[in-house]
Amino acid sequence: IVPALAARAHADNLPHVIAAAIEQSGLESVQQLSAIAVTSGPGLAPCLDVGLRTARQLCIDNPDIAFLQINHLEVCWHASYLPSAWSRRLLTASDDASLMLQAHTEAPPPEFPFVVLLVSGGHCCLVLAKGVGDYELLGNTLDDSIGEAYDKVARMLDITASALPNGKGVHGGKLIEDMAARGNDRAFPFTEPMKHRRVRETSVLLSFSAKESLTDVAAFTGL
């Protein structure tokens, strides 16, 4: 991801996203909102700045609308509390929508305390959620997130969207996942990461960079 290009894409698309959200909500205009929540981090600073500036300006233009800065990761693990109508719209717009929707509608929202495994392109952590705003980090990645590792491996192996039918716009991780489903998971004898690392019994540490290095070696030496 090139931060400057990503920020430009945010700036170009955000007005359309806001307009679509207002239309889907059934409201007539932004003025009918009681609050605007915007991600303040973590994330790419240029992209966060686009969202913050846009939300702040909307609240300045409409003083009755509250301005709320929220944590990106916290919102992710509270998504299960969205009203079913909204979650249905969000899930049906994503990959494997039918399976996700079925899992979401069949399982009730979790009750505190619960454990969260947050996996994304930029983050990979295990969190104990004791209540809203009350969290304990149980473990984190020591290097890359798993999504980042997948994308790096896709670039190493020169796996692009053209590798799959209808693969246009599909990210590297998804391409590898689809190809691995048809592959041999015993073809390369990769070692187990962090097997000999001494850690506290209560810690949960993750590492993915070793797998990237092993894949790199296997790809270019035919291990």
Greatest mean pLDDT among 41-50, 73-82, 166-175 lies in: 41-50
Q: Which two tokens stand for residue 33?
A: 């909102």
| Spatial distance between the Cα atoms of 193 and 77, rounded to a whole number of angstroms | 27
Please report how many Cα atoms fall inside a 13 Å half-sphere around the Cα of residue 76, on the Cβ side.
Answer: 17
The percentage of the chain sitting over the pLDDT mark of 90, rounded to a whole number, equals 26
Quick check: 52 pLDDT over 70?
yes
Q: How far apart are the first and last CA of the chain?
A: 30
**Average pLDDT over the chain, rounded to an integer:** 79
Quick check: 92 pLDDT over 60?
no
| CA-wise closest residue to 89 among 24, 18, 10, 22 | 24
CB crowding 13-35: b at 16 or more within 10 Å, else e: ebeeeeeeebeeeeeeebeebee
Quick check: 6 pLDDT over 80?
yes
pLDDT of residue 34: 95
Segment 74-78 mean pLDDT? 81
| Spatial distance between the Cα atoms of 11 and 123, rounded to a whole number of angstroms | 23
* CB distance 70 to 36 below 8 Å: no
Query: By three-state DSSP, how is residue 162 classified?
Result: helix
Ordered domains of the chain (ranges, CATH): 1-77 (3.30.420.40), 141-221 (no CATH)
Segment 184-205 mean pLDDT? 71
- 27 or 220, which is more confident: 27
Pairing of strands 66-71, 114-119: unpaired
Segment 118-138 mean pLDDT? 85
Quick check: 60 pLDDT over 50?
yes
